[in-house]
Each structure stands twice: as structure tokens, then as C-alpha cells.
Structure 1
Amino acid sequence: MSLTKLEETFTIFDTTSSILQEELSCTYLEALAETAENLFHQDVLQDELSELTKKRLLKEYDKINLQSLTKEEVRKGFQLAILKGMKEGAQVNHQMTPDAISLFIGFLVSKFNESNASISILDPAVGTGNLLTAVLNQLSDKKLTTYGIDVDDLLIKLAYQNSNLQQHPIEFYTQDSLQNLYIEPVDTVISDIPYGFYPDDVNASNFELKRNEGHSYAHHLYIEQSIKYTKPGGYLFFLVPNAMFEGEESKNLHVYLKDHVYIQGLLQLPFNLFKSPKHAKSIFILQKKAINVEQPKQALLVNLPSFSKKDAMSNIMGQINDWIQAEKRKK
């Protein structure tokens, strides 16, 4: 994708969002959701705007032809606008998954599901939909059924507009993902798991990974909930903090995982992606136990090189592919 095309796409989102932000007296992210809806319908839907403002917006919208852009071009332009909005502090509790990580998770989901013609996918902490749509854009050869859940209604609105602009038919639900979900179990779960404490102690008491004292760990409950809503033999791809594997509570998590899943891999992400080593994360790959599923002889344990080192990354991706093919032959 040429930088010029990316800049042009972002500029349309940015310029029109700034106009709407001023006219509607709302946040940049709220304005971005409004302008995305306008673009999708190729019209200005806000009745309260003056005719002059509507003409200004339509003039900007005429500069972009969504049909001429790839899904990735739309996603990246929209992503840059979301990042600008988040820097304004409207969503300090939500950080977008870095692009390189999203694309790499897409590679993994594609490889592990290589033999499946159709896949159902859930992201229980979907946020703005950037990770989910980045993964879907690498599964264009599959028949997809997709779900995204988040408790934040603005993030869900952005995710909904994001998927519309990329023409992904995703079902979104605005709800606490740790309550009972309105979906059937899926083949694959992907998630950049929220890390911290879960405030609803009453609901947490329904989980095996609840803590006996104080608030339970949200990241542990998300893993348990995700496993519950995965079909037997299905895969789960989590982006998790390395700190999750430390401390007393990690023992309970280990016991729970041993009972319900096989650990397929743990891929340590390069430290240069994070502000400090204590914020470092890994990609955690699990497979839910089933009658015809065996534990891998050796889990895929990898320290990933910097994503900018193309030869090293190409080598690692080749090794991962070889490992997956070897596991398939074993079956």
C-alpha cells in the first residue's frame, strides 16, 4: 500500500471528524463514528447540521472511493484516526493492539485453520475491531461467521463502522463479556485480553478461576469464559502480559488450563514493541481438549525477533509452519 493512499484515506477521516467534532460538540472518536457512518451510506445523516456544513462534508467524502480501496487500506486509515482520538484521552482504558502483532496473529489463525473451509470466530474484548478485522483480512479464502463483544458502547460503535467500511459481516454485542453470551461456541477465539481486576464479585463467583478473597483477575476469567465458548478441538489465540504467568494465582490458572486445554504455543513478542520489559506480552495459543485431539509432543516456544528484521521473521514463520505441518502429520 502506498503511503500516499494511506495518508489520503486518513486525511478524509480526520478532516471530516474534526468538522463534526466542532459542529456537534462531541469527542473526536464520537465524531469519527458519525463520519464513518456517513461514508458508508454516502450521505450526511446528521439532521442538525447546517446546509453549509453538509456541503463541506460531502465535498470531502467525494474525494474518496471506498470501492477502489482494499480492506487493509480502509482498516489502516481508520486505525490512524482512532489512534489520534485515543491520544486525546477519550479512551485511556483502552490501547489498540499494535498493527504488527495483529497481522502476526492473523498469520497464526490462518495457519492453524488451514484445512478448514469455514471458521466461526469470537473476539470477547473486541474494542474498535482493529485486531479482529486485521485477522479477517487474512482469511479471505474462508467462509466466516464472526462475533465481537465489548462493554463500551462507543468502542462497539467504532468497531461496527470499521467492519461496515471493510464489508465484514460481524455480529456485535454491547455487554460484559463475562456474563452469559448470546452466541453458540466458536471454532476460534482471538483476544487482546483485558488485564487487571474484575469488579463484579457476584458474577466472578460463577467461575472456577475466581479468587477466594478480593476481586478476581479479569484476565483469568476472560480465558475461562473464552474456553467455555470454544468448540471441542477449537483454537484460542490470546495476547497476554508476561506477568500473567508469575505470582501465586498463576498456579490456579495452570491447573485449570491442564484440565481443559492443550498448550500449543507461547510466542514471546520482541521487547522493543513495549514501553518497558515489565509491559511485555506474548501470544498464547491453546487448543480445547476433544476426543480426537492430542497434546503436542513439544509446545511451540519462540522468542520472536523484531518485526522489522524481515529475514529473521521469515525464518521464524517458516519454522512455525513446519511445526504445524509436523503436528498435522502426527494426527
Structure 2
Amino acid sequence: MSSLSNVEKLFTVIDQSSERIKQEEELTYLEALVDTGENLFHQEIPKDVSQVTRAFLEKEYAKINLDTMGAEEIRKAFQLAVLKGMKEAIQPHHAMTPDAVGLFVGYLVQKLMQQKKEFVLLDPAVGSGNLLTTVLNQFGEEVQSFGVEVDETLLRLAWIVANLQKHNVELYHQDSIKPLYVDPVDIVVSDLPVGFYPGDETAQEFKVFAEKGHTYAHHLLIEQSINYLKESGFGVFLVPNSLFSSEQAYLLQDMLKERAVILGMIQLPMSLFKQESHAKSILLLQKNGEHTIKPKQALLVNLPSFSKKQAMGSVMSQMNAWFSSELKRS
């Protein structure tokens, strides 16, 4: 059986079973997806489900065998279902990192972590876990990881997706701007939610705090990530293209000058985004410490479309050369 048909087969099962649970329990699609994911993980259906629905679910679940599927197949099938569920969700933070970007972030993590046999990774805005598990699927058991998410439904999805893919992930349901329950990590990877953080009392503990109006949540998350990085640890963040040109940019720049080194800024292809205002870049930084490297020249790249293989290959060669010469990681 091909990889694609495995993904399609699993998606069809979780989609049909989620729709059935959604109707019976009067839930949102994402909430029903959580329930069907838990049924699959625990390999049992709750006792309070009606006999008719139980028979339907048992028939659907019997169509698949998760033990024969790869982690990427499971991730992609759930990703399709999450994308469907997010179309009915009105929350602006319900968005998913494109696959091509997740794979590219994984490449960056490999380059930055090349000298470590084992390392610890944190995503402070883990969402449904798609970016985190896309990165983890490019490594073996050498990665211990943590995820934090304020939205309970998304966190439950992340828990299911990570468990079904057999990843070593600890997940926490909390506001990432407040003190976290994790020890310092080697690297932080996150697609940062963009917008204002309403908790001014919490925000005023940070150097990026804006005295007028609310502080940008993505600024706070960058500073919080640095708080939870080990000395000379790395940050890989998806950030808005306007990160260093917004009205609060000077606060972020002052904090970064004091606490970290900006290694690079990689602008993602505009074709990935519906609107130019939603376009993002990848910010690479390293926290100050004894082994922090200050490159002679930061890595500044405008990525071509991921579908343009020749142009992409040329850019990747230049990036590999930069990592070899500036960070001496290869």
C-alpha cells in the first residue's frame, strides 16, 4: 500500500468517526476529533456512547491498523482533519504551519544541533502539535521535547498526535507568558501567534513591555523563550515580516541586544500566504553564553518557492556553506 493511500485511508476513518461523534455529542469538529483520537489511542470506545454510534465507530476503526503506519502518515492524516476543523473555528490563533515550512525548520534544527547527540526542545505555542511532530519525525529518540498551549482543545489534539506517533513529549496546559513548568532547554522552536497580549500585569515583568496599550504576544514569547533557554541555546521562530519595523520593534531590539545574538532572518516564500500582511520569516537567534558564536555576517535569505527545486537547491547550498563557515557546525 502506498504512503498516500495510508494517509487517505486514515483520514477517511477519523473524519467519518469525528463527524458521527460531532452530531451525537453536539461538539465542534475539533472536539470530536479529539474524542476519536483518544478512542484510537486507548483502543476503546467510552461506555456512554449509544449502541448505534458504537457499532458505527467499531466498523470504522476496524478499517485501519495504526501499528502498520509510519509517524508521518499518522501526522499527515490528522493534519488534514485539523485543517478541516479549523475552517469552522473562528479563533485567529487556530492556524497550522505548512508542511514545507515544518520540514525546513527541521533542517535548521539539525544544523544548529549537529554537535549534540541528545538535546531538549521546547515549543511554547505548540497548538495541535503539527510543527513539533514534523520536526521530531526528522530525528530519533535523542530528542526530549516539551510543548505549552493555552487552548485546551488544541493541547489535547497535540497529546493524541504525539502519542500516536510515539514521541517523547511532555505537554502543559498553561499561559506561556507566565512561569513555565520546564527546566532550561537546548533549543526553542515555535510558530509564534501574532497579536496583542491582554495581560498587562504579567507583561510588565518583561523587558519588551509596552507602557502604552498592550504588548505584542510574539515579542513576549521570544523573551520568555530566551528565559527558558540554556546559555548559548538556540531559538528558531516563525515571526511576522514586520517584526523589526512595528511600533514596538525598538523594545524587542533592545532586549535582544542585551540577551542574545541574531544569527539570521529567513523570509518565507510569499506564495505560502493568502495575504502579504500574514507573511512570515524565520528568526534564528542564540542566547548569550560562553559558547555563543557571533557570526561575521548574519544569514539573510529570501527563500524562493519550495516548488522551484533548482532555485531552492542553490539557496540551500549557500546556507550549508554559511553554517559550515560561520557556526562551524558541519
Q: TM-score range by the shorter chain?
A: over 0.9
TM-score, normalised with respect to structure 2: 0.96
Distance 1:196 1:90 in 2: 15
**RMSD of the alignment, in Å?**
1.5
Shift of 1:244: 1.7
Shift of 1:329: 3.7
Corresponding residue for residue 131 of structure 2:
131
Distance 1:91 1:65 in 2: 33
Helix, strand or coil at the partner of 2:143: strand
Corresponding residue for residue 230 of structure 1:
229
The answer to which of 225-234 and 53-62 deviates more is 53-62
Helix, strand or coil at the partner of 1:245: coil
Count of aligned pairs between the two proteins: 329
Shift of 1:314: 2.3
Q: Is the 2:10–2:74 contact (alpha carbons within 8 Å) kept by the matching residues of 1?
A: yes
In the TM superposition, what are the counterparts of 1:263-282 in structure 2 within 5 Å? 263-282=262-281
Q: Is the 2:239–2:280 contact (alpha carbons within 8 Å) kept by the matching residues of 1?
A: yes
TM-score, normalised with respect to structure 1: 0.96
Corresponding residue for residue 72 of structure 1:
72
Shift of 1:90: 5.3
Q: Deviations over 1:71-110 (max 9, x none)?
A: 1100000000000011112544321111111111011111
The answer to which of 319-328 and 22-31 deviates more is 319-328
Distance 1:329 1:243 in 2: 30
In the TM superposition, what are the counterparts of 1:31-50 in structure 2 within 5 Å? 31-44=32-45, 46-50=46-50
The one-letter code matched in structure 2 to 1:157 is R
Q: Deviations over 1:96-152 (max 9, x none)?
A: 111111111011111211121111010000000000000100112x51211100111
Helix, strand or coil at the partner of 1:322: helix
Corresponding residue for residue 60 of structure 2:
60
The one-letter code matched in structure 2 to 1:32 is L
Helix, strand or coil at the partner of 2:125: coil
In the TM superposition, what are the counterparts of 1:204-219 in structure 2 within 5 Å? 204-219=203-218
Distance 1:293 1:247 in 2: 28
Distance 2:144 2:133 in 1: 12
Shift of 1:48: 1.6
Distance 1:92 1:245 in 2: 22
Q: Is the 2:117–2:142 contact (alpha carbons within 8 Å) kept by the matching residues of 1?
A: yes
Shift of 1:271: 0.6
In the TM superposition, what are the counterparts of 1:235-254 in structure 2 within 5 Å? 235-254=234-253
In the TM superposition, what are the counterparts of 1:60-139 in structure 2 within 5 Å? 60-89=60-89, 91-139=91-139
The answer to which of 71-80 and 112-121 deviates more is 112-121
Structure 1: gaps (5+ residues): none
Distance 2:82 2:101 in 1: 17
The one-letter code matched in structure 2 to 1:156 is L
Q: Cα distance 1:329–1:146, how it changes in 2: closer, same or farther (>3 A)?
A: closer
Distance 1:19 1:248 in 2: 48
Shift of 1:249: 1.8
Corresponding residue for residue 17 of structure 1:
18
Distance 1:330 1:175 in 2: 35
Q: Taking every aligned residue pair, what percent have the same amino acid on both sides?
A: 51
Moved over 6 A (4+): none
Q: Is the 1:42–1:61 contact (alpha carbons within 8 Å) kept by the matching residues of 2?
A: no
The one-letter code matched in structure 1 to 2:56 is R
The one-letter code matched in structure 2 to 1:168 is H
Distance 1:122 1:238 in 2: 11
Shift of 1:196: 1.1
Distance 1:286 1:203 in 2: 24
Q: Cα distance 1:289–1:269, how it changes in 2: closer, same or farther (>3 A)?
A: same
Distance 2:248 2:51 in 1: 59
Corresponding residue for residue 290 of structure 1:
289
Corresponding residue for residue 318 of structure 1:
317
Shift of 1:234: 0.8
Corresponding residue for residue 9 of structure 2:
8
Q: Is the 1:124–1:177 contact (alpha carbons within 8 Å) kept by the matching residues of 2?
A: yes
Distance 1:292 1:107 in 2: 22
Shift of 1:311: 2.2
Q: Cα distance 1:130–1:330, how it changes in 2: closer, same or farther (>3 A)?
A: closer
Helix, strand or coil at the partner of 1:244: coil
